[in-house]
């Protein structure tokens, strides 16, 4: 059962106006008697500069001042016991903060991405500090019972917990055995990092969204490159992967747009799903014969024209198996599907935003759902005779698509096949008007755009 609640117009207006006031406030003084700063109360207020919190407040809620990019000063009074997760995340103008002795918990990502936060004082002797609480700040040195930062690195025992500085180059000291997941995530100033020989584990997403990182050498002793490890490191040009690595995880190098070539080590067993997807400059990959499994879309939206391995074959920029196109492995503007291919698999070309022109062989008889979804540059396409169905979301959000030719063999157009095709001017149909009327059609088919090839 679905219950839909609807605010009365006067209450809705009051709510909207209240939210607007919160988004334009530049100086905020919470009234006496306040006991808690509500979660997300001033989230994304771009003009908020100062906040005064009175005595009596015991908690600052989750996301309370998240992305308040102009916030420069805030007092946290003695008596506050908890700072919620994301409370000040992305407050890029915040330069200093004092955490009173009453605080016993600082939540998940509480100050993450406060890139100008260079002065931090923690007065308490026992504070639980959540994951990534100070990642991506500008704190080089700090010593307190629960948090020691040296050279911009938060290290505990032999674990590197997070990078808290804006350094362009980082040297991880000898003795570190593990970089925990997300340790360098969103350190956008980081260009180069030196890893020690003692390192044994790199956690999931450790360098995710380090958008300036250009090169990295992974030391011997690492056996896995986990999921998301280098995801969206769009400046990464080279990576050295040592012998001994047996697994490259899901989305490990997803969106590394500047990566041009990769030599994968002998002994590697598995390349997981989407591992190198979106590496638009990647044109050369050496895969050793030891590899026993390559996941779906592992090299989608790269720049690979030809690749031959028992577990993946790429021809003319297309990953093909059993006469079916699995996915497009190239970023070329123009692609031709060769003769002999009978099927385009589900989502085969989805999100191929550089694709402008596609020639489909007459041998293709089946095209899977969402096969061309979000191909935002695709302008025209001809579906070959023999295809019987335009499947769900086939051209969804193809914003530049102007012309589609559909053969008389098509008996059904599914829902959302043309949803979001805002430029579609003409659907050229190969059958008669009577056949078109009899054709089963779902939503978002613009009948006024239909023309008949045979009159």
pLDDT in tens, 142-157: 988 778 899 999 998 8
Please tell me the total number of residues recorded for the chain in this structure: 455
Q: Does the pLDDT at position 10 exceed 70?
A: no
376/396 Cα distance (integer angstroms) = 10
431/436 Cα distance (integer angstroms) = 7
Sheet hosting strand 73-74, strand order edge to edge = 27-29, 50-52, 73-74
| pLDDT for res 15 | 45
280/223 Cα distance (integer angstroms) = 26
Average pLDDT over residues 220-232: 96
| pLDDT for res 19 | 56
18 — pLDDT class (breaks 50, 70, 90): low
Q: Is 254 helix (H, G, I), strand (E, B) or coil?
A: coil
3 — pLDDT class (breaks 50, 70, 90): very low
Secondary structure (DSSP) of 312-353: EEEETTEEEETTEEEEE----SEEEPPTT--EE-TTTTTT-T
Per-residue pLDDT tens over the stretch 297-336: 999 999 999 999 999 999 999 999 999 999 999 999 999 9
Of 395, 365, 361, nearest to 380 by C-alpha is: 395
Backbone phi and psi for residue 99, each to the nearest 5 degrees, phi listed first? -95, 115
76/350 Cα distance (integer angstroms) = 48
The tokens describing 189, both together, are 């100033």
153/134 Cα distance (integer angstroms) = 10
Average confidence score pLDDT of the chain: 93
| pLDDT for res 228 | 97
Q: Does the pLDDT at position 20 exceed 70?
A: no
Q: Give the bridge partners for 240, in sequence order.
A: 217
The tokens describing 47, both together, are 């003009």
Q: Does the pLDDT at position 282 exceed 90?
A: yes
139 — pLDDT class (breaks 50, 70, 90): very high
275/285 Cα distance (integer angstroms) = 12
**Contact of 262 with 239, CB cutoff 8 Å:** yes
**What sign does the CA torsion over 272, 258, 132, 28 have?**
negative
Q: What percent of the chain has pLDDT over 90?
A: 88
| pLDDT for res 148 | 87
Domains of the chain plus CATH, in order, are 23-142 (3.80.10.10), 151-315 (3.80.10.10), 323-455 (3.80.10.10)
Q: Which residues, other chains included, contact 14 with Cβ-Cβ below 8 Å and sequence gap of 6+?
A: none
Of 206, 205, 215, nearest to 169 by C-alpha is: 215
**Contact of 93 with 74, CB cutoff 8 Å:** no
Average pLDDT over residues 246-270: 97
CA angle 319/218/290 to nearest 5° reads: 45
Average pLDDT over residues 38-42: 93
Per-residue pLDDT tens over the stretch 332-383: 999 999 999 999 999 999 999 999 999 999 999 999 999 999 999 999 999 9
């Amino acid at each position: 059962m679905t219950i839909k609640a609807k605010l009365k117009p006067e209450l809705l207006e009051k709510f909207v106006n209240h939210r607007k006031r919160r988004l334009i406030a530049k100086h905020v003084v919470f009234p006496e008697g306040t006991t808690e700063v509500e979660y997300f109360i001033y989230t994304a207020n771009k003009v908020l500069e100062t906040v005064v919190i009175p005595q009596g407040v015991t908690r600052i809620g989750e996301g309370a001042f998240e992305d308040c990019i102009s916030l420069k000063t805030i007092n946290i009074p003695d008596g506050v016991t908890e700072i919620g997760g994301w409370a000040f995340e992305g407050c890029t103008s915040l330069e200093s903060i004092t955490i009173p002795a009453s605080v016993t918990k600082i939540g998940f990502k509480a100050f993450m991405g406060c890139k100008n936060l260079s002065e931090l004082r923690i007065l308490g002797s026992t504070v639980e500090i959540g994951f990534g609480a100070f990642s991506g700040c500008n704190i080089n040195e700090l010593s307190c019972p629960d948090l020691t930062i040296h050279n911009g690195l938060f290290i505990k025992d032999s674990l590197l917990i997070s990078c808290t500085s804006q350094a362009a180059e980082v040297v991880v000291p000898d003795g570190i055995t593990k970089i925990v997941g997300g340790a360098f995530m969103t350190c956008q100033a980081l260009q180069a990092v030196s890893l020690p020989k003692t390192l044994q584990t790199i956690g999931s997403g450790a360098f995710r969204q380090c958008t300036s990182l250009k090169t990295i050498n992974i030391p011997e002793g690492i056996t896995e490159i986990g999921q998301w490890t280098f995801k969206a490191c769009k400046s990464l040009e080279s990576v050295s992967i040592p012998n001994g690595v047996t697994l490259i995880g899901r989305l490990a190098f997803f969106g590394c747009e500047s990566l041009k070539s990769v030599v994968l080590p002998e002994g590697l067993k598995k390349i997981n799903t989407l591992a190198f997807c979106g590496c638009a400059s990647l044109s050369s990959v050496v895969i050793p014969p030891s590899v026993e499994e390559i996941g779906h879309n592992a090299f989608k939206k790269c720049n690979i024209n030809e690749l031959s391995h028992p577990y993946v074959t790429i021809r003319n920029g297309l990953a093909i198996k059993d006469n079916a196109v699995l996915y497009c492995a190239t970023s070329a503007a123009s692609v031709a599907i060769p003769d002999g291919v009978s099927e385009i698999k589900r989502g085969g070309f989805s999100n191929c935003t550089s694709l402008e022109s596609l020639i489909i062989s007459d041998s293709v008889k089946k095209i899977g759902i969402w096969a061309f979804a979000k191909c935002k540059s695709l302008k025209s396409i001809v579906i070959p005779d023999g295809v019987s169905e335009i499947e769900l979301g086939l051209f969804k959000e193809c914003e530049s698509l102007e012309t589609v030719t559909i053969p008389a063999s098509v008996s059904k157009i599914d829902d959302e096949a043309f949803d979001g095709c805002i430029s579609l001017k003409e659907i050229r149909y190969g059958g008669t008007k009577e056949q078109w009327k009899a054709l089963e059609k779902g939503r978002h088919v613009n009948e006024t755009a239909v023309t008949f090839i045979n009159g």
